[in-house]
Amino acid sequence: MPCLQERRDGIRWNFFTAKLFSHSCFVYIKFRMKYKALLLFFSLIFAACESFEDSYIYQIDETEKEVLLTDLNGLQFSLSCRVRSGVKKCGVVFNGFVPKSQDRNCTPNSCTYTTTLFGFLDASLLTLQVEDENTHEVQSIIAYFQDDSTYMKGSVYVPSSMNQRQRKNVGREITLNGYYEGDRWINLDTTIAIMDTIFANDEGKIRFNVSDSKGNRARFAMDLGEVLKNYGSSDSEICYVGSNSYDGPRSTVPRNCWIVNSSEVIVEPEELNFEFGGKNNFIDMSGTSCISADDSVPTCRIELR
Amino acid sequence: MANNRVNRVAVILLSLFLAIPAFAENVGAFQKFSMGVMLGFGPSVLTNGDRGVYSDNVSIGFALSFRMAFPLTERTSLLADIGADGCFGFVDKSSYAYRRVVDSVSTSAFDITVMWNAFLTENFFMSVGPSLRFPKIKEYVQLDGKEVYSGEPEYANDLWLDAVLGLGYKNGAFEIGLRIGYEFLGMYKETDNYFETDINELRFRVYFTYWFGQ
């Protein structure tokens, strides 16, 4: 008996639904005829508002053994300044490698950006050295990493959840259990304090070179004297700089910046004694658009840390 | 495959749970010193507070114990369990320098549990008490599918303390129930290199016990 009752309810409900549906269709058709233009207008608005997401693909091309400057497309440095107790200091920091390739493939609705990065999971970077020519101090290039350290052969840093989120001395040092000397792997624990900066001298001049074990060398020089003279702690503005993500667009984080005129940063020609991967600049000042090749951007950003 | 196995065990435990009351004849409460063995199975949940360390914070766990019962009164007794409890794995997926990181943590612990047990009816009982646990935590980290670390992390706590509540049905030699434990000392500890995490384990174990000589 309960089953029969349920069945009757079901039939009644279906009949009611069909009636409601047919009535709705009738009203809709009538409305559509009357307000055809209005409907067309709203449908166009909705179509225009439809969002299409771009996709970002990052691929890593692993390098092996000892990395030489000739293997790379370029090194990225950015400007960095700090003001502590009224004392201003400016310098450059190394923040990665120019990607191996960057492609954009677009349809009318969305774009796919594919970036191929150099990977060092099976390689050692320890033989890439940076010499501050003002102080003649020589350090591994890894010492100047500012963000995530490139994961490389011999690294004992484990990017576990706890290391990424709960570590007290975040990213201050990286330990490698060896490095390549030519094709030979040398087992030698090496700890490098990172987040160093190559500071300008009192006159605002920076000179440094990057070299490898084969004698390849790239020299770079710049003058930040005008920046040091013209800007102070009260001139800082909030700007946004990129941070890494493997499956999306580069997200941004707020930082304090000086926005300076490009003429206030003087870049002297660099010296290269080797052939490199065909890019415009072996040393790329990322985040400092004021020194682009055609000087078309009137201002540049100097990040304060 | 693993899910099928989990389902099969759940069906067996549920069947036992339904079947045992059907043969109810004896009074459940312990009348003499008794010994038994326990097998348990169920989920564990990591309660992270406001710091989510593991994105997949639920894992299937198991329990295995040798049990002793010391009668106190006609309906109450003191239970002492010595055994092991573990979880197959909590997982976190993240990225590091454009690489995919999978961090998984499995736990196992040697347990000593002491509970006060009271029969509320002839066969249904409730137990409460502390559980002292000596954990071993194993962590595995994969970078782009390649294992770069496996071992016991320095932030693993040396001692866990659970508050345990048990509810169940006992008839003669057979007992089936649900045990809920909340660990409040923390899965991890603060060290020189790591901050406090406030991760605690909330575990649910459906269990079956066979008592000898009932």
Q: What pLDDT digit, counting tens, does each position of A125-145 carry? A: 998 999 999 999 999 998 988
Q: Are A210 and A75 in contact (CB under 8 A)?
A: yes
Of the pLDDT bands very low, low, confident and very high (cuts 50, 70, 90), residue B159 is very high
More confident residue, A52 or B112: B112
Q: How many CA atoms lie within 13 A of A253 on its CB side?
A: 8
Roughly what angle, to the nearest 10 degrees, separates helices A36-49 and A2-34?
Answer: 100
Q: Are A40 and A47 in contact (CB under 8 A)?
A: no
Interchain contact, B139 vs A160, CB within 8 Å? yes
Percent of chain A topping pLDDT 70? 68
Mark which residues 198-257 of A lie under 8 Å from B by CB: 244-247
pLDDT value of position B1:
45
Render pLDDT for B167-209 as a digit per residue (tens, 0 to 9).
Answer: 999 998 999 999 999 998 999 999 998 988 888 999 999 999 9
How far B94 CA lies from chain A's nearest CA (Å)? 8
Mean model confidence pLDDT for chain A = 76
More confident residue, B73 or A247: B73
pLDDT value of position B208:
97
pLDDT value of position A135:
93
What is the b/e burial string over A7-34, where b = at least 16 CB atoms within 10 angstroms of the residue's CB? Answer: eeeeeeeeeeeeeeeeeeeeeeeeeeee
Q: Are A56 and A115 in contact (CB under 8 A)?
A: yes
Of the pLDDT bands very low, low, confident and very high (cuts 50, 70, 90), residue B156 is very high
The ipTM, to two decimals, is 0.79
Render pLDDT for A4-16 as a digit per residue (tens, 0 to 9).
Answer: 333 333 333 344 4
Among B94, B97, B146, beta carbon nearest to A161: B94
pLDDT value of position A189:
92
> How far is residue B214's CA from residue B209's CA, in Å, rounded to a whole number?
12
Q: Report phi then psi at B124, rounded to 5.
A: -90, 135
Place of tokens 């045992």: B20
Render pLDDT for A166-210 as a digit per residue (tens, 0 to 9).
Answer: 888 766 788 899 999 888 999 999 988 888 889 999 899 999 999
Contacts of B38 (CB under 8 A, 6+ apart): B63, B64, B65, B66, B67, B81, B83, B207, B208, B209
Q: Where are the beta strands (DSSP E) in A214-297?
A: 217-223, 237-243, 251-261, 266-272, 283-285
Token digits for A256? 């304090």
Percent of chain B topping pLDDT 70? 85
Q: At B83, which CATH number?
A: 2.40.160.20
- Indicate whether A300 pLDDT > 50: yes
How far A55 CA lies from chain B's nearest CA (Å)? 15
> How far is residue A68's CA from residue A141's CA, in Å, rounded to a whole number?
12
pLDDT value of position A140:
92
Range(s) of the domain holding residue B42: 2-211
Residue type, A104: R
- Indicate whether B13 pLDDT > 70: no
pLDDT value of position A297:
46
Interchain contact, B146 vs A149, CB within 8 Å? no
Mean model confidence pLDDT for chain B = 87
> How far is residue B187's CA from residue B164's CA, in Å, rounded to a whole number?
16
Render pLDDT for A78-130 as a digit per residue (tens, 0 to 9).
Answer: 888 888 887 888 888 887 888 888 899 999 888 898 989 999 988 999 989 99
pLDDT value of position A2:
32
Residue type, A71: D
More confident residue, A1 or B132: B132
Closest Cα in chain A to B98: A246
Sequence spans of domains, chain A: 2-49, 55-304
Mark which residues 50-79 of B lie under 8 Å from A by CB: 51, 53-54
Q: What total of structural domains would you count in chain B? A: 1
Which of B99, B193, B194 to probe the A interface (max A CBs under 10 A)? Answer: B99
Mean of the pLDDT values across residues B4-9?
A: 59
- Indicate whether B11 pLDDT > 90: no
Q: Does A84 touch chain B (CB under 8 A)?
A: no
The bridge status of strand A137-140 relative to strand A173-181 is unpaired
More confident residue, A91 or B12: A91
Mean of the pLDDT values across residues B58-85?
A: 95
Mean of the pLDDT values across residues B49-53?
A: 63
Render pLDDT for B105-120 as a digit per residue (tens, 0 to 9).
Answer: 999 999 999 999 999 9
The bridge status of strand B76-96 relative to strand A299-304 is unpaired
> How far is residue A200's CA from residue A295's CA, in Å, rounded to a whole number?
23
Of the pLDDT bands very low, low, confident and very high (cuts 50, 70, 90), residue A243 is low
> How far is residue B80's CA from residue B113's CA, in Å, rounded to a whole number?
6
Give B141's contacts in chain A (Cβ within 8 Å): 158-160
pLDDT value of position A47:
54
Which of A114, A115, A160 to probe the B interface (max B CBs under 10 A)? Answer: A160
Place of tokens 């493997």: A246
Question: What is the DSSP secondary-structure string of chain B?
Answer: -HHHHHHHHHHHHHHHHHHHHHT--S--S--S-EEEEEEEEEEEEEE-TT----SB-EEEEEEEEEEEEEE-SSSEEEEEEEEEEEEEEEEEEEEETTEEEEEEEEEEEEEEEEEEEEESSSSEEEEEEEEEEEEEEEEEEEETTEEEEEE--TTB-S-EEEEEEEEEEEETTEEEEEEEEEE-S-SB---SSB-----EEEEEEEEEEEETT-
Distances (CA, A) of B148 to A63, A142, A275, B110: 17, 20, 35, 28
Point out the least confidently predicted range of A200-209, A272-281, B17-26, B137-146.
B17-26
Token digits for B10? 């759940």
How far B72 CA lies from chain A's nearest CA (Å)? 47
Q: Report phi then psi at B209, rounded to 5.
A: -125, 140
pLDDT value of position A23:
56
More confident residue, A1 or B156: B156
Distances (CA, A) of A23 to A18, A20, A65: 9, 5, 75
